[in-house]
Amino acid sequence: MLLDRARTRMSQRRLLHVLGTAHIMAVLAELHRLDRDASVLAALIHDQSKELTPEKIEHELAHMGEPVTDIDRDHPRIWHGLHAACWAKHELGVKDDAVLEAAALHSTTDAGVRPLTRALYVADICEPGRQFKAAEELLDVARRDLNEGYRQCLMYKTRFVIEKQKAELHPRSVRALREWLTADELHEFGLEPNGKTEILTT
Ligand SMILES: [Fe+2]
Ligand SMILES: [Fe+2]
């Protein structure tokens, strides 16, 4: 059902990305003893809502009883994960909190997330369809050490958000950075471990 729906709701390019992400999740699950079915399911769900407009996402989230809240208000780019998780819970009956968390937070992550969420964050960045050189290197690190791979993906994506998207970091991403990065690494992003410094956006 999930794949049938994906075929009608996603471009072929996005479907290939989702399948590539699912493949990497299966690999990481095997290497790092995560639940394989939950890992693949989270990947198949994560971008199901990516091609919906922010207006439609906002409307449907409210309709499903989980409206956009203040922390996400200024970050419509990441709403598709929240919607996908909400949709999976309400429409597919997915009850596994680890799967729902991974799908909901795949763009931002957060402090204190489960290993499955860290794995999906990595897989989303490193799946074979990604056309940038660092993807393979980051995946190699994650194959050996999921936490170190996740840390490096956090830094890679943060640079992308700041330098390429010229966007403000999501507060959940900032929390994750503070959890996993050293003081020197945080400094690159204008962040202090105690959270006093404002985030650089350019
Ligand atoms: Fe996404
Ligand atoms: Fe994705």
pLDDT tens profile 15-46? 999 999 999 999 999 999 999 999 999 999 99
Helix and strand numbers (H, E) in the chain are 12, 0
Nearest ligand to the CA atom of 125 = 2
How much of the chain is in helix, strand and coil states, percent to nearest 5?
Answer: 65, 0, 35
* Distance from residue 86's CA to the centre of ligand 1 (Å): 14
* Distance from residue 122's CA to the centre of ligand 1 (Å): 12
Interatomic CA distance for residues 25 and 54, integer angstroms: 27
Q: State whether residue 15 is helix, strand or coil.
A: helix
* Distance from residue 196's CA to the centre of ligand 1 (Å): 30
Nearest ligand to the CA atom of 18 = 2
Per-residue pLDDT tens digits for 46-64 = 999 999 999 999 999 999 9
Nearest ligand to the CA atom of 120 = 2
Per-residue pLDDT tens digits for 98-121 = 999 999 999 999 999 999 999 999
Give the predicted TM-score (pTM) of the model.
Answer: 0.93
Interatomic CA distance for residues 156 and 150, integer angstroms: 10
Size (the chain), residues: 202
Q: Give the architecture (CATH level 2) of 2-145.
A: Orthogonal Bundle (1.10)
* Distance from residue 62's CA to the centre of ligand 1 (Å): 20
* Distance from residue 50's CA to the centre of ligand 1 (Å): 6
pLDDT of residue 196: 55
The answer to whether residues 43 and 21 touch, using CB atoms and an 8 Å cutoff, is yes
* Distance from residue 155's CA to the centre of ligand 2 (Å): 17
* Distance from residue 191's CA to the centre of ligand 1 (Å): 25
The answer to whether residues 190 and 155 touch, using CB atoms and an 8 Å cutoff, is no
- How much is the CA Rg of the chain, to the nearest whole Å? 16
* Distance from residue 157's CA to the centre of ligand 1 (Å): 13
What are the residue ranges spanned by the domains of the chain?
2-145
* Distance from residue 106's CA to the centre of ligand 1 (Å): 6
Interatomic CA distance for residues 169 and 171, integer angstroms: 6
